[in-house]
């Protein structure tokens, strides 16, 4: 079983080394190993003088520093330098460990700060379900049912039946609902008070145009761009632009 020993100031040997490096403003990529080793051993001696138990990891780091210092102090003859390739810097592994430790330490400090700020923040649930009961949905049909619309369409068809003959089929090219929707919206713009449903259809028209016009009305109702009203029971249905109807009620 391993135990984590937390010192009065430092939580581990890397923490102590970073403190010494920052205190002396030393370039972490070019550590003067003799100076750092001396300061590190001095700190351990002070801990022992105060009868503070020194964790084994601190002693291991001390041995590592002494080993690096010894390797850097070993002289090499000119002949060895020419025959053998350059050895890696003995400090390289230690530098990488210090850089990684500093990165984790900075991340931990950032997360601790975020936790502190988040702990002082209280959020309120703003989901749409909480306010749905306060919003009265606007019905574009305004009490007009689909059956009423179909009944009005039948009246238009009966009135126009004498003027055209039924074709064998309605081709796809003849059905242009999007264009008819734009035409109806442009026409309703000229009638702020609305237009009777039967007046949406020309007096002399074709079956395909009636079908396309009716489909365009249904699509405009579905998308909420227009609304339908029936002021009198069994009266004719009036079609209004949605924006005009809202403004008129305002």
Q: Do 31 and 104 have their domain in common?
A: yes
Residue 5 lies inside a defined structural domain of this protein: no
Residue 188 lies inside a defined structural domain of this protein: yes
pLDDT digits (tens, 9 = 90+) for 191-218: 888 888 888 887 777 788 888 888 888 8
Q: Do 39 and 93 have their domain in common?
A: yes
Q: Do 162 and 72 have their domain in common?
A: no
Q: Do 24 and 66 have their domain in common?
A: yes
Q: Do 92 and 158 have their domain in common?
A: no
Q: How many residues does the chain have?
A: 250
pLDDT at 4: 47
Residue 59 lies inside a defined structural domain of this protein: yes
Q: Do 69 and 163 have their domain in common?
A: no
Question: In the predicted model, what is the mean pLDDT of residues 165-188?
Answer: 73
pLDDT at 250: 37
The strand pair at 195-196 and 226-229 is best described as unpaired
Q: Do 155 and 101 have their domain in common?
A: no
Residue 242 lies inside a defined structural domain of this protein: yes
Range of the domain at 49: 13-119
pLDDT at 1: 43
Q: Do 115 and 152 have their domain in common?
A: no
Residue 96 lies inside a defined structural domain of this protein: yes
Domain count for the chain, please give it.
2
Q: Do 35 and 91 have their domain in common?
A: yes
Residue 80 lies inside a defined structural domain of this protein: yes
Residue 7 lies inside a defined structural domain of this protein: no
Q: Do 184 and 100 have their domain in common?
A: no
List, in sequence order, every residue forming a beta bridge with 107; answer none if it has no partner. none
Question: In the predicted model, what is the mean pLDDT of residues 117-122?
Answer: 76
Least confident of 53-67, 75-89, 101-115, 180-194: 75-89
Burial (CB < 10 A; 0-12, 13-18, 19+), residue 184, is buried
Q: Do 211 and 114 have their domain in common?
A: no
Q: Do 22 and 110 have their domain in common?
A: yes
Number of neighbours of residue 119 by Cβ within 10 angstroms:
8
pLDDT digits (tens, 9 = 90+) for 16-67: 898 888 888 888 888 898 899 998 888 888 877 776 667 788 888 889 888 8
């Amino acid at each position: 079983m391993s135990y984590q020993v937390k010192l009065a100031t430092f939580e581990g040997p890397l923490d102590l080394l970073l403190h010494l490096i920052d205190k002396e403003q030393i370039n972490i990529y070019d550590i003067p190993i003799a100076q750092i080793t001396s300061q590190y051993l001095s700190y351990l001696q002070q801990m022992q003088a105060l009868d503070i138990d020194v964790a084994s990891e601190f002693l291991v780091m001390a041995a590592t520093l002494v080993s690096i210092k010894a390797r850097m102090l070993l002289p090499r003859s000119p002949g060895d330098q020419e025959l053998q390739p350059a050895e890696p810097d003995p400090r390289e592994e230690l530098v990488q460990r210090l850089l990684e430790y500093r990165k984790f330490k900075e991340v931990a400090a950032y997360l601790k700060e975020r936790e502190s700020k988040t702990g002082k923040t209280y959020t309120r649930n703003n989901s749409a379900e909480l306010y749905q009961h306060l919003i009265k949905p606007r019905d574009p049909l305004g009490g007009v049912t689909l059956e009423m619309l179909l009944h009005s369409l039948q009246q238009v068809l009966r009135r126009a039946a004498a003027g055209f003959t039924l074709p064998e089929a309605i081709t796809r090219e003849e059905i242009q609902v999007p264009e008819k929707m734009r035409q109806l919206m442009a026409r309703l713009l000229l009638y702020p008070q609305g237009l009777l449903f039967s007046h949406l259809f020309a007096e002399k028209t074709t079956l395909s145009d009636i079908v396309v016009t009716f489909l365009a009305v249904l699509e405009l109702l579905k998308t909420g761009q227009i609304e339908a009203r029936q002021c009198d029971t069994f009266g004719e249905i009036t079609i209004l632009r949605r924006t005009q109807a809202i403004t008129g009620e305002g």
